[in-house]
Every structure is written in structure tokens, then in C-alpha cells.
Structure 1
């Protein structure tokens, strides 16, 4: 396990300050606000710690309300909405400086047998054949930005199957992107932790496909201003975040200063593990 992954796992190990109240820390981000994936993952940790271990999360729905301050702790308050025979529902509000910055609803289910089918996994190159972030990013970005991005993502081995948006600025292409990812080290056998790590990563690249459709490079080259608005995930089957996962992403629409991304996460063995949808602000700077 590298130091960056150890640091991320420490961030996800929230401090319990009351029965249903938790406190999390942040770390410096690439932009002057808390990374949205971190807040979503921490909120899911908080919810999960009030649920029996035999009920993993099967879905979450979240809204990003205000930019988070990376220099201040975040307090997560969990509301025990429902404890049923099979399902458990929790609501979490993340607060900083007396104001809510994030809201999450999550549902958990005890495992049961049922109907089982899935669509076919899309074609994708072998992850081991693709360049690492440290190898790929300096090819397309100024050295200082590439170094910061590599450092920010060092907890995760994330590999693009094709050129990322900032490598094809001015050349629109099909609004679809694929990345392989896994934690940069072995993670404990705790199902909730693997789900939370995937939640963390899911906010990194989902709006790339919006940028690709317009030949834009995003914040890295300064031609788009963006932020996550809302985020939803459905966890279909068990998976490990320390084994390769394919994040297959596309954008069906962008309009009104917003862009929609939708995606599926597959195990390397072809199992559909997660479905994801996110809408975000995607604005072209004026002047």
C-alpha cells in the first residue's frame, strides 16, 4: 500500500463524536474546494456505520450543495430513516461552518437470491497494456499541472483507454470515455470500504465524456468551469476496489450550463458491479 492510499483510508476512517454524528478531515484538492468524491465516500461511511454489517449499500442519491472548505473538518449527521426486515435507509447531511454542503440518501439491503441478468461488458483494452497516469499525463499537460494531478490521484491506479479530454482540445469526438482503475495497494476485506472507494473514484472522470463531445479540456486547460451537482449510484454485485474495474462512461446530453454523465463499472471478469449517473455544471468562461 502506498502512502497516498493509506492517507485516503485514514480520511475514510471517520471519528465518531456522538451515536450518529461523525467527523471527517479533508486534504488539499486541485481546486480550492473539497473533492466531491471524498465527501460522498465519507458520507457513505457515516451511513454504513449505523447499519448492520450484513446489509451492504445497494444505492445512493446525493446533492452537492456548497463548495467544501478543505481546511476545515466536516461533520456528518446520520438520520435513521427506516430499519425494515430487508432494507435499511439512511439520510446524511454534511456540515461545515454551520451550513450544509452535501446531502446523501442511501439504502442498504440484506443479501437475498433473486432474478439475475446483465448486459454484455463492452470491449476494452487490457489495463496492464495502458500507460499509468504518471506516464500519460505529462504527454498532454504542462509539467506542473500533470504533477499535481498525478499526486492528487496517487491513491488510485487510473488508466485511460484513450486520450483524455485535455489531450484532444479542439477536436470533438464521440462522448464516451473508458478508464480502468483500482486502489494502489491491498485493501482490507470490508465490503463497505470497497464500495466507498469506488464512490470516491466515481467522481473523478464521469464528466469527461461531456468535454469530449465539444473538444474541451476542462479545468486542466481552463476552457471549462465545472462542478458536480448531483450523483447517483446503484451497487449490483460485490466487487473489490483493489482489483481492476472498468469505468465505461458516456454523455447523452449537455444543455443550460449543465452536462449529464452516465456510466457502468465492470469487474475485469465481466460482471456488472455498479451503475452511475451524475449531472454537473459545465460552463464556458466568459471573456
Structure 2
């Protein structure tokens, strides 16, 4: 995938009838289906059963099995409840009869109410001061480990600019946080809120476990550690646009027992909080 148009096409599922949908997969460099893709496709499936006046406000999910990139993923939506203000859906993703992922999602009609939000970190470097993944590949590709170079070489519809770039040739323990600016590649499009939420869900599974990994980065890396997303939750607050850079800001309160927890927020560049997220992942040192 090279741009946002191709990403939207990937997330837009085929309707098989009776609340059943099907989607294909595109690799991001892993031998298995990217968790963010399954998340976003499941949201697309759930939205296909929701009235137009309700919007996703929270999701909670579990990754049960690694997805096969070569086989279509089937999504079944169970309509759990349609109340006066909220609708709830359960989505089951499967391949060849085996459940690989489950999602619970809640949708809410627009209402007026109280308001406050946490503030964006104003001390972080701005995107113009940072290198993107593409820049790093172009400038340092000949000096990077093969696994890192291969990962950066994958064409993606999102441009990432990490605030802090560890040196893979001189690994050190780092604070338990991760801050990454991101934006969509391709021509700007007018997108509805549902589509923007699906895209943001897809992006939210990138970079998140780095926050839990960083405090032990001098000893462990993604080459000598087995990693996988175990669960993923999101809460959506405000509408937004992808016209400018956005900030993914994660912190990890704990890593223990081969699991790491990371949680954080997603802001627009001007500091509007649009979503929060939490994920626990497997961080198992290889013996």
C-alpha cells in the first residue's frame, strides 16, 4: 500500500449477507496479518449494521490466533443491543472456521455534555525537526541491520516520524514512553467520521508496544524477543481531520511475566485529544 486510498479500499469489506463480511490482507513486514488491519476491518463490519446517527465511542478486543495473510478473513457481526442512545455489536473474525479475533464495540448518538481533556506535551520536537521512516531508510539504509532495513522498506500509507530514534548499533535502556508524529500519504480527501475512525484504529496498533519494550532495550530487541498483541482497547472522543500531522503518545506503567502494558492518547497537532488507547502485548525473550 502506498497511500490512504489503497488503505481505505483494504478496510472496506465485501458484504456476504446476513451480517457476514469478508476482507483480504496486506503485509506490513510481518509473516502474519497486522493486528491493526483486523481491528479496523472489524470496525468496518460493525459499522455496516449501525444507523447513520450513531458513532463508535469505544472498542475492546482480543487477538486469539495469528492471521494467515493468504486467506480471506470472515467477519460476523452479532447485534447485541440497540437502545435509546447506544448500540452494541460483537464481531468475530475467523479463517477456515477458526476464530482468530473478537471485538466488542459500542456506538453512541451525538449528545451535548461537560468537557475537559488532558493536554498535549508541548515540549516535544515538531515533525519538521524529525526524520521519517522513509528518510531513515534513504540516509542510513546501508548501515542498518537487515531486519530493520527490510521493515523500513515496506511501502505504507502512513508516514511516521518518531520523536526519539534509538541507535540499533548501540542499544540502551530508555524511558517507558513512545511519541510518534504521523500523517496519511497521498492526496488529501474529504472523509466521513466513520472512515476516519477506521483509519485511526488501523494506525493505533503501530508503535504502541515500544513504550513497554524501551526500559529493557539494552538487552532485548524485536529480533531476540517474541512479540504479539494480546488485546487492544480504544475510546474515541472528538471528530478530527487528517490534514496535518497527528501525535501518538504512549506510556507503559508495567512489564512483567512476559507481558507489557502500554496506554496513551492521540492528539491533533493543535492539541485536540481525539482518542485514547490501551494494549497489553506478549514480550517473551527467546531462549
With normalisation by structure 1, the TM-score equals 0.92
Say whether 1:206 aligns with 2:240: no
Q: 1:255 to 1:172 in 2, by over 3 A?
A: same
Q: Report SS of the residue matched to 1:79.
A: strand
In the other structure, the counterpart of 2:12 is: 13
In the other structure, the counterpart of 1:163 is: 165
In the other structure, the counterpart of 1:254 is: 255
- Deviating runs (4+, > 4 A) in structure 1? none
8 A Cα contact 2:159 2:183, kept in partner: yes
Say whether 1:70 aligns with 2:69: yes
Say whether 1:281 aligns with 2:282: yes
Residue 188 of structure 1, CA deviation: 3.5
Distance in 1 (alpha carbons) for counterparts of 2:80 and 2:52: 17
CA RMSD of aligned residues (A): 1.9
Structure 2 spans left out of the alignment, 5+ residues: none
Q: Report SS of the residue matched to 2:128.
A: helix
Structure 1 spans left out of the alignment, 5+ residues: none
Distance in 2 (alpha carbons) for counterparts of 1:169 and 1:83: 54
8 A Cα contact 2:172 2:217, kept in partner: yes
In the other structure, the counterpart of 1:30 is: 29
Residue 154 of structure 1, CA deviation: 1.9
Q: 1:168 to 1:236 in 2, by over 3 A?
A: farther
Distance in 2 (alpha carbons) for counterparts of 1:243 and 1:45: 24
Q: Report SS of the residue matched to 1:197.
A: helix
C-alpha offsets along residues 32-89 of structure 1, whole Å, 9 cap, x if unaligned?
2100000000000100111122211000000000000000000000001111111111
Residue 136 of structure 1, CA deviation: 2.1
Say whether 1:218 aligns with 2:221: yes
- Paired residues, number: 282
8 A Cα contact 1:218 1:226, kept in partner: no
Q: Report SS of the residue matched to 2:114.
A: coil
In the other structure, the counterpart of 1:89 is: 88
Alignment of 1:14-163 (within 5 A): 14-123=13-122, 124-137=124-137, 139=140, 142=144, 144-152=146-154, 154-163=156-165
Distance in 1 (alpha carbons) for counterparts of 2:58 and 2:197: 10
Q: 1:224 to 1:44 in 2, by over 3 A?
A: same
8 A Cα contact 2:234 2:276, kept in partner: yes
With normalisation by structure 2, the TM-score equals 0.92
